[in-house]
Structure 1
């Protein structure tokens, strides 16, 4: 059942935060509230706060008006969400904010972070022993700085008990939609997503990377055209000989050069791209498994099932049930 009262969400802002880390979730909560609060208490009471209050300048240069944390003394807070962002390559967690979060944490129902906001929560010690998501580019730094945290650099968002965390930038919207779903159910969350013209839902179990982008990130551009061609021809014959022909290389030279450039075999890249295409089809369409198997290059429904069980540990049907917004 939906909560009988408004849920107060405090979004924590500070200098050089990422603007979308704050405004993306803020807009999602506001859209849900505006659409579903007619004639009844608003779904959410939204407060943007900072250490001293007043204008706080984001890394994009746009300033946001905030209330001081002191004004929240004695006020119940349901959810605290910490935006990410910083100036430079080192994240500095302001001591005043760390102390305030640590002090208020026992009274919170839920704690959340977007992107490098995980560094702020990690500095409080509240993430020790938990699994946490952050932007992929910052994952290794978070892991080294706080080895007691299990950092998941792949997932869009992660829930560990009542602590939620997400990857960067637009993933904050995915996190907010998941929180709305947790509070008020799927119908409210999906209507909010439609209002915002975003997908509902990029599941937390999805990767921060698309397979083509991940492949291109591992090489210097030599095979970028080939990766784009693979993505458009997943249903065709993509054996090494055919890929080598497309790359205008001999099969042996191609296989050796590709592995050296990308760190994986051509077959592994094709398999990963086909799996991603099948996952996307299961999430976003109602196509039968046989059709998905054919269009994504798996050939038969049985092959599709085998691939999902081997690589994801679930059947295609279970995956669709878990991650489809339909």
Structure 2
């Protein structure tokens, strides 16, 4: 069974709050992720804040979600979400709450946090929304632990994010949790989002480090290194992959990544070792061979090197 990402399309939706996460998931599917996307609405004939009509959507009550699926609530006009008109939709709130208690994970983009707050699901947990609305969210829902100046939060199967771009950030974070850091990098690169951002700007995985550039040849070489770390990387082959001479490749690699090719390979090996060490079925020799080393001794030396 495929993992479902359902988007709740509310009236006066902000199109970019929908489009960013939606495209990230679509790219993940194109890269082979076993995901599916479904859309639903509160009422048919939704008009976005830009005036674009969206029709032909299922009513939310027709959508069936299973444990582990995701319900994503893109932001709509906050004035609408805090209005008495919207707050009368108790059936919608009960549906969201029921799904959450059934193990469905919830994601709000921007002002979508007001929907989760109205459901009482942000009580006593960290959350965020657009910086212009954090104070209002806190005042209207004092039990929520609203955090300023953060891109996204995650706790207990509930994710909240700030503005448009952070909706992509939190979606990439979810993809990374599900499919791994390198897979998330591939999706980010397809979106031309080279500078991945974590919710609290904590240190990123080394598999995503040294990628904040747009040189396609260097990216190709880095991809080859990550995907073939069990093989010995030949400088001439890497240069050929990047469509450069060896001398130019060495120079451009250092210029774009601020690290040498050999040091980059070492970084990737160390990161891969960390991942493999979590697998109790792999021996230390197995791990050594998986990262292109010949012995446990070489593995130990690399692990304890600075």
Q: TM above 0.5, one fold? A: yes
1:177 matched to 2:172: yes
Instruction: Note the alpha carbon deviations across 1:112-132, whole angstroms, 9 max, x for none.
Output: 101111110001111111000
Instruction: Note the alpha carbon deviations across 1:26-63, whole angstroms, 9 max, x for none.
Output: 110011101225xxxxx2110111123x4321111122
2: distance between equivalents of 1:119 and 1:287? 44
Match of 1:71 in 2: 62
Q: CA deviation at 1:200?
A: 4.3
Distance 1:133 1:285, change over 3 A: farther
Match of 1:230 in 2: none
Q: Please list every run of 5 or more consecutive structure 2 residues that lacks an aligned counterpart in the other structure.
A: 203-255, 261-306
Pairwise CA RMSD: 2.3
Q: CA deviation at 1:150?
A: 0.9
Distance 1:70 1:88, change over 3 A: closer
Q: CA deviation at 1:90?
A: 6.7
Distance 1:90 1:81, change over 3 A: closer
Match of 2:14 in 1: 18
Q: CA deviation at 1:206?
A: 3.4
Distance 1:89 1:98, change over 3 A: closer
Contact 2:81/2:114, CA 8 A, preserved across alignment: no
Match of 1:168 in 2: 163
Instruction: Note the alpha carbon deviations across 1:192-229, whole angstroms, 9 max, x for none.
Output: 0100111341111139xxxxxxxxxxxxxxxxxxxxxx
1:154 matched to 2:149: yes
2: distance between equivalents of 1:157 and 1:88? 22
Contact 2:66/2:104, CA 8 A, preserved across alignment: no
Match of 2:107 in 1: 112
Among candidates 102, 122, 128, match of residue 97 of structure 2:
102
Secondary structure of the 1:11 match is strand
Q: Report 1:281-292 matches (<5 A).
A: 285-286=257-258
- Write out the 4+ residue segments of structure 1 that deviate beyond 6 Å after TM superposition: none
Contact 1:79/1:108, CA 8 A, preserved across alignment: no
1: distance between equivalents of 2:161 and 2:37? 19
Distance 1:89 1:285, change over 3 A: farther
Among candidates 52, 57, 69, match of residue 47 of structure 2:
57
Q: CA deviation at 1:88?
A: 4.3
1:8 matched to 2:4: yes
Match of 1:192 in 2: 187
Match of 1:142 in 2: 137
Q: CA deviation at 1:98?
A: 1.8
Q: Please list every run of 5 or more consecutive structure 1 residues that lacks an aligned counterpart in the other structure.
A: 38-42, 208-283, 289-326
Superposition TM-score, scaled by structure 1 size: 0.57
User: After the TM superposition, which of the residue ranges 146-155 and 84-93 deviates more from structure 2?
Assistant: 84-93
Distance 1:285 1:132, change over 3 A: farther
